[in-house]
Amino acid sequence: MSMGMIRLGAGDNRSSVPSANHARTMDPSPKLSSSAARNLESNGSTLFDIAAALFWERGYAVTTTREIAAAVGIRQASLYYHIANKEELLYQICLSALKEFVTEVESTVKAVASPLKRVRVLIHAHITTLLKYQKRNVAMLTELRALTPRHRREVVALRESYLQFVRSSLAEAQVDGTIRSDIAARHLSLALLNMLNWTALWFHRGEALSAEELAGIFAKIFLTGAAGPRRRVGISLGDLASLRQGGARPRKRKNRDNPTFERVLDAAVALFSHKGYTATSTREIAQLVGIQKASVFYHIDEKEDLLHLICKSSLEQICHDVEDAIRPIPDPLERTRILIRTHIESMLRDADQHTTTLAEMRALSRERLAQVVGLRDAYENLVRSVLQDAQRTGALRRDIDTKYLSLALLGLMNRALVWYRRSGPLSPTQLGHLFAVIFLAGAQTTAD
């Protein structure tokens, strides 16, 4: 299959995982009156959390204001006293989530004198804030593309402001000599936020560890690495430039005998990742391929067939790539390093497919969703088994449960889909190597 060959225009901004009704993003968004805005600020907490929960469960595109009003316990007309429209509500949810980081995290961190301690406090404050407003943060992390261009710019600017604060906190610790300086603060901050923000997608309140305990685990992994103490010493960044031309092996091709169907799949990938599954019509897919809408149904019975195949093939492909890469590697620590690098290479080679899978799989029917979730779980079990084998031999630290090592690693790797650009300074191979060093050896230079 030759997915990803059809590309959309400059509007394809992968600043968030897309799952949005693109038609709404082109409409000018009306402003709330000042009195309504003040009322929303003081009384909107319940509304924000209920709406965010619905967006999380069902997706923004298919959730209606009628459903939101019913869940809040008010009439639909009353909802519009608080918001101008559904997009305005998502915008306010995103702003409220980010403002909590700017106020709570930054003020807590700035009160600490030691640069290294500030990094530790930042990790704890970030996780605490992220999970305190978990549903709002999931909406902000996954539904950003549903915003109008103006609203999206405002939210992205606020997010970038916070990212700059995280980056500067790490840069100050680099100047202090307590955080390694061979990796740019920009990449250290992105790696850290990848691990932390992924938590919002899997954390279940009341189960296993608390937010504070999780923060302690993330601080250990990020600062001192996942490798065992004796193996950590030998892990170095090396010459990144020599890895520039590396890359994942070619994708398995399943439809060589049906090039038109490959083009239909390419178009579906491009549109689903750009606009979202719900907002994309089969007519648009046909137009992008250059065929009649009726011709699409020569290859499929319904639009969901395309989403199912995209999700299924993306997970099968990354599992195939990683299994092939680690099979001949006997050393458990090296197997872990190769796993990380191959995952990043494979995922970023097929970035639009994986973006679609992560953001849109919930739109599948129950039976098909169960099949895709089974493939996802099988791959995550592969990752967990590699880490577990490394722990048994002492190649990885044993004071952190394999479950949390693997969740931290999956977050580190998968969130790169959000911000990675091929036009950036690192190739997928270089990024994979960099992330392997951060995960295994950590960012700290001095012993506690």
Tell me the pLDDT band of 10, cut-offs 50, 70 and 90.
Answer: very low
* pLDDT over 90 percentage in the chain: 73
Tell me the pLDDT band of 306, cut-offs 50, 70 and 90.
Answer: very high
| Arithmetic mean of pLDDT, 35-59 | 73
- Which stretch of 152-166, 207-221, 402-416 has the lowest confidence by average pLDDT? 207-221
| Arithmetic mean of pLDDT, 201-225 | 92
The first and second tokens of residue 162, run together, are: 């916070």
Q: What are phi and psi of 276, to 5 degrees?
A: 100, 150
- Which stretch of 20-24, 107-111, 165-169, 320-324 has the lowest confidence by average pLDDT? 20-24
| Arithmetic mean of pLDDT, 256-265 | 86
Residue 252, pLDDT score:
60
The first and second tokens of residue 15, run together, are: 């600043």
| Arithmetic mean of pLDDT, 207-218 | 91
At 405-446, the pLDDT tens digits run 999 999 999 999 999 998 999 999 999 999 999 999 999 885
Check pLDDT > 60 for residue 30: no
Residue 401, pLDDT score:
96
At 325-335, the pLDDT tens digits run 999 999 999 99
Residue 241, pLDDT score:
83
At 226-248, the pLDDT tens digits run 988 878 877 888 888 888 765 55
Residue 4, pLDDT score:
40
Tell me if 47 sits within 8 A of 55, measured CB to CB: no
* Torsion over CA: 369, 374, 380, 384 (sign): positive
Q: How far apart are CA 287 and CA 296, in angstroms?
A: 10
Alpha helix positions (H), 327-393:
332-349, 351-360, 366-392
Residue 18, pLDDT score:
32
| Arithmetic mean of pLDDT, 305-313 | 97
For 328, other C-beta atoms within 10 Å of its C-beta total 8
| Arithmetic mean of pLDDT, 69-92 | 92
Check pLDDT > 50 for residue 7: no
Check pLDDT > 90 for residue 39: no
| Arithmetic mean of pLDDT, 95-100 | 95
Q: Which residues have a Cβ under 8 Å from the Cβ of 158 and sit 6 or more positions away?
A: 95, 98, 99, 102
Check pLDDT > 90 for residue 168: yes
More confident call, 22 vs 353: 353
Q: What are phi and psi of 93, to 5 degrees?
A: -65, -45
Segments making up each domain of the chain, as ranges: 230-441
**What's the Cα-to-Cα distance from 169 to each of 114, 146, 187, 195, 220, rounded to whole Å?**
10, 31, 13, 17, 17
377-399: burial string, b at 16+ Cβ within 10 Å, e else: eebeebbbebbbebbeeebbbee
More confident call, 322 vs 249: 322
Class of domain 230-441: mainly alpha
Check pLDDT > 80 for residue 161: yes
Mean model confidence pLDDT for the chain: 87
- Which stretch of 172-186, 198-212, 340-354 has the lowest confidence by average pLDDT? 198-212
Q: How far apart are CA 397 and CA 387, in angstroms?
A: 10
Residue 145, pLDDT score:
86
Q: How far apart are CA 420 and CA 429, in angstroms?
A: 12
The first and second tokens of residue 262, run together, are: 């490959």
Q: How far apart are CA 70 and CA 76, in angstroms?
A: 7
| Arithmetic mean of pLDDT, 157-172 | 97
Residue 384, pLDDT score:
98
Q: How far apart are CA 400 and CA 41, in angstroms?
A: 41
Residue 337, pLDDT score:
96
- Residue 90's nearest CA partner among 132, 36, 50 is 50
